A and B are shown apart, each in its own frame.
Chain A
Amino acid sequence: MGEAALPRDDSATPPQAAARRRLGLRAGPLYSLPMLTLLAVGFLAPLIAVIGFSFSEPRSFDWLAEPTLENYRTIFDPSNTVYLSFLWSLWFAFLSVLILAVICYPVAYGLAKVFGRWSMVITLLLVFPLFISENVRLYGWVLFFIKAGVLDGTLRALFDAGIGDFLFTPEAIVFGLVYVYVPFMLFPMTLGLSMVPNEVVEAAGDLGASRLQVFREIELPLAIPGIIIGSLLTFVLAVGAIAESKVLGGQSVIVITHDIEIAFTYSQNWPLGAALAVLLMLVIGVLVMTVLRYLDLDRILGRR
């Protein structure tokens, strides 16, 4: 029997149900309310706060008392060199993703295809450092690389020749980013590679493909969803990183997040910091969307 055939009689419905109906709430939206509230308070509210502040009077603490574009004007002023910080951050993130992709691929391949039951052990070893605070690990590297530190001291003792200047350089920052974000590239990549069926790879070889051709024609395109997810993750994280440039880089480079931090602390210009944060979000958002658009995940995954 169809629902339309049932007589509609509101007087027969229990009062609570009627109240729910009046509120227009069904079970689904009702149950998702806690999550929606959490999202609204924990994610949306700060976001709106940041966006609002970015349109507030410079150096003021009154949220949107007199909306203005002054902060954005300051940032886009030709004499303002803050664009350099953006470029440094993007460049570091780009380099890190590139280096990570190259060094993680063989390891991911091993984890997915070669190491077998050792994969679990290796994965654990790679995850373990994540339990230690990032800053502590970075300070560990400072002690490792610093003059007369672990590396320099050992080299001096063995070969009577220390390392040159590495710590507190842009190279050290990239090293730090690569080191910290290895798991974020490696694990999605491993997942991507483990989705490549062995028989498909064997078939390609059997059909005449060399190892390189197998990599280019089969493994890479089939593993690309994992590689893209890993790359996006590490890119977004690396653009937003600050500790690496401060600790390992000795602030030899001012990255954009550092500029935002200065705006919020020493310069006490929350609206300017908020405007920088909004622009950073926009830049990252546009980049991520472009990549996702250009690389149609559905097609890559063979769903269409």
Chain B
Amino acid sequence: MSFTRRDFLKTSAAGAAALSAPALLAGPARAAREKEMNILCWEGYNSAEVLDPFRSMHDATVKAESLTNDPTMINRLRAGETDVWDLINVNNPWARKVMYPEGLIKPLDRATFEPYFEKMLPGFEPPYKWAMSEDGSELLGIAQRFGPYSFVVNTDKISKATAEDQGWDLWNDPANAGRYGVLESDDWNVFDIFLIAGINPFVEHSDADFEAFDAAAKKVFKGAKLVGDIATMNQALISGEIDFHLTGGTYSASPARYDGFPEIRGITPLTSAIPGKGGVAWIEITSVVNNPQLSPLASQFLEYVQAPEMAHTVAFAEGTFNPVTQMGQKECFDLFTADQLEAIQWDSLEEDMARSAEYDIVPDYDRALDIMTAAKREASGG
């Protein structure tokens, strides 16, 4: 329960500071922020390899907190931490659909940042949909890491072709019970269980849809050998404890592939309930927080990570390895070794992305998550 205490402690400390500080700190604090910057991000941007050069370049205090799901980060801003953070790094739909409309982030200067999009991989040319506001007038963030994210198989057990062909029906085959794991990534699991149930996750759902979702969720968790984090999934795939697992892609499989297990492979199915698409992919958008005392370093950092070498470092920062949009520049692409390209499944990246729908918001996510949690609980001990 320590995480609840810690979270609340932070909130209450922030509250106490808010109560006592304004008059005293307003002046000095504004001045002090020239030399400090705080990033709320997925892991990678918080690594020393990325941050240390920036720190010494600006002689600045840079703090980065890494979390592993988007809603938590966004709700930190909603709970009043907009005056704490300068940058937020989440998946694609949140900036244009949630954070900008709610006033949690600020637009970027198009003249400064759009040229970077011109140098990115094909498909990210400006105006790039997920970086723009809904009306297409404002630039809300910068794209860097991305990847297809559907499921992962051990190709020694199930061939790539079979997995792509069978797709989400792998989980509908009763013979597969006990052969697979489920990655502990509940927002993605909601998408995937919808897809297993043959339903497009990113639309409003009927009660009948939810019944089907419930049945699929129960089936998936009943048949799951284990639910765990990325390390556990890869370990279980390598040891043969499981043959495939739900929710995963380059982001989760790349550490195992880079370690010399190329048979661990992210798969994008050929078809799914999403019209014209077989799976789902994510693109990170890094935005500037609507901080009343925004650090001037925030936009400098966004430019800093565009440089080919830094982009390569971000791609291969500690933890997981991912393709980056800057690979569209030769100077950046040439920095990747053959092994690194193999790790991020470069060979099929373009077609996998083409077959993937982009991460989107499930309109009735809360209801789906509650159903899924209950299904997980009912499968307990089984």
Q: A and B: direct contact (Cβ < 8 Å)? A: yes
Question: A-side interface residues toward B, CB under 8 Å?
Answer: 42, 45-46, 49-50, 53, 59, 61, 80-82, 84-85, 88, 139, 142-143, 146-149, 167-168, 170, 240, 246-247, 250-254, 257, 259-262, 264-270, 273-274, 277, 280
- Name the contact of B370 in the complex, choosing from A53, A264, A267 (C-beta under 8 A): A267
- Note all chain A residues with C-beta closer than 8 A to B228: 246-247, 250-251
B226 near A250 with CB under 8 A, answer yes
Q: CB < 8 Å: which of A246, A259, A268, A280 contacts B373?
A: A259
25 contacts between A and B (CB under 8 A): A45-B12, A50-B4, A84-B378, A88-B380, A147-B240, A148-B240, A168-B226, A168-B241, A170-B381, A246-B229, A247-B232, A250-B225, A251-B182, A251-B184, A252-B226, A252-B227, A254-B376, A259-B373, A260-B1, A262-B369, A264-B3, A265-B69, A265-B186, A267-B366, A267-B373
Q: Which of B273-321 contact A (CB under 8 A)?
A: none
A46 touching B184, Cβ below 8 Å:
no
Within 8 Å by CB of B235, from A49, A143, A240, A264, lies A143
Determine the interface band of chain B, counting residues with CB < 8 A from chain A. 35 or more
Residues of A within 8 A of B360 (CB): none
**Which B residues are closer than 8 A to A by beta carbons?**
1, 3-5, 7-9, 11-12, 69, 71-72, 75, 78-80, 181-182, 184, 186-187, 225-229, 231-232, 235-236, 239-241, 366, 369-370, 373-374, 376-382
**Cβ distance B19 to chain A, nearest Cβ, rounded Å:** 13
Contact with B4, one of A139, A247, A254, A273 (Cβ below 8 angstroms): A273
Which residues of the other chain, A, contact B187 by a CB distance below 8 angstroms?
Answer: 266
> Which of chain B's residues has its CB closest to A152's CB?
B239
Q: Are A268 and B72 in contact (CB under 8 A)?
A: yes
A260–B4 touching, CB < 8 Å: yes
Contacts of B78 in A (CB 8 A): 61
Give chain B nearest CB distance to A274 CB in angstroms.
7
Contact B12 A253 (CB under 8 A): no
Chain A to chain B: the 6 pairs with minimum beta-carbon distance, closest first:
A250-B226, A251-B227, A266-B186, A168-B226, A49-B8, A61-B79
Q: How far is the CB of A219 from chain B (nearest CB, A)?
A: 36
B381, A262: Cβ atoms under 8 Å? no
Q: CA–CA, A228 to B377, complex, Å? A: 32
A residues within 8 A CB of B235? 142-143, 146
Chain A's closest residue to B184 (CB) is A251
Asked whether, in the complex, the Cβ of B373 is within 8 Å of the Cβ of A277, the reply is no
Interface centre among A50, A88, A148, A268 (most CB of B within 10 A): A268
Q: Which residues of A contact B12 (CB under 8 A)?
A: 45-46, 49
**Contact A268–B241 (Cβ < 8 Å):** no
Which B residues touch A147, using CB under 8 A? 236, 239-241
Q: A246–B71 contact, CB under 8 A?
A: no
Other A-B pairs, 8, CB within 8 Å; known A246-B229, A251-B182? A61-B75, A85-B380, A142-B235, A240-B1, A252-B226, A252-B382, A254-B380, A265-B69
A165 to B32, CA, bound (A): 57
Tell me if A250 and B186 are in contact (CB < 8 A).
Answer: no
Residue among A142, A147, A251 with most chain B CB within 10 A: A251
Other-chain contact of A251, B11, B231, B376 (Cβ < 8 Å): B376
Chain A residues within 8 Å of B184, by CB: 246, 251
B1 close to A277 (CB less than 8 A): yes
On chain B, the residues within 8 Å of A259 by CB distance are 373, 377
CB closest chain-A residue, reference B238:
A148
Which chain B residues lie closer than 8 Å to A45 at the CB level?
8-9, 12
Q: State in angstroms the CA–CA spacing of A46 and B379 once bound together.
A: 33
Contacts of B231 in A (CB 8 A): 139
Which residues of A sit under 8 angstroms from B186, Cβ to Cβ? 262, 265-267
List the A side residues contacting B240 at CB < 8 Å: 147-148
Query: Chain B contacts of A149 at CB under 8 A?
Result: 239
**B226/A146 in contact, CB under 8 A:** no
Give the CA-CA distance A277 to B228 in the complex, in Å: 23
Q: How far is the CB of B21 from chain A (nearest CB, A)?
A: 16
CA distance A59 to B5 in the complex (A): 18
Which of chain B's residues has its CB closest to A45's CB? B12
Chain A residues with CB under 8 A of B373: 254, 259, 262, 267
Interchain CB contact under 8 A, A264 and B7: yes
Contacts of A268 in B (CB 8 A): 71-72, 75
Pairwise interchain contact B366-A252, C-beta atoms closer than 8 A: no
Q: CA–CA, A88 to B8, complex, Å?
A: 26
Q: What chain B residues lie within 8 Å of A167 (beta carbons)?
A: 226, 241
User: How far is B181's CA from A142's CA once the two chains are assembled, in angstroms?
Assistant: 15
Cα–Cα distance between A168 and B178 once the two chains are bound (Å): 11
Known contacts A49-B8, A252-B381, A277-B1; decide if A59 and B366 are in contact (CB<8 Å): yes
B366 touches A250 (CB 8 A): no
When distances are taken between beta carbons in the complex, the residues of chain B under 8 Å from A250 are: 181, 225-228, 232
- Give B52 Cβ to nearest chain A Cβ, in Å: 24
- Contact B72–A84 (Cβ < 8 Å): no
Contact A146 B241, beta carbon cutoff 8 Å = yes
| A142, B78: Cα distance in complex, Å | 38
Instruction: Collect the chain A residues with CB atoms within 8 Å of residue B236's CB.
Output: 146-147
A6 to B149, CA, bound (A): 85
* Interface-centre pick from A257, A266, A277 (highest chain B CB count, 10 A): A266
Partner of A88, one of B5, B241, B381: B381
Closest chain-A Cβ to B284's Cβ sits at a distance in Å of: 18
Complexed CA–CA distance, A149 and B241 (Å): 10
Given the known interface contacts A50-B8, A143-B235, A264-B7, the answer about A254 and B1 at a Cβ–Cβ threshold of 8 Å is: no
Taking the closest CB of chain B, its distance from the CB of A157, in whole angstroms, is 15
Shortest CB-to-CB span from A51 to chain B, Å, is 10
Q: Is the beta-carbon distance between A253 and B381 smaller than 8 angstroms?
A: yes
Contact B239 A148 (CB under 8 A): yes
B377 touches A81 (CB 8 A): yes
Are B378 and A81 within 8 A (Cβ)? yes
Q: Is the CB of A261 within 8 A of B3?
A: yes
**With contacts A139-B231, A250-B232 known, is A265 near B380, CB below 8 A?**
no
Which residue of A has the minimal Cβ distance to B2? A240
Task: Look across to chain A and name the residue whose beta carbon is closest to the beta carbon of B226.
Answer: A250
Chain B residue nearest in CB terms to A261: B3
Q: Are A42 and B232 in contact (CB under 8 A)?
A: no
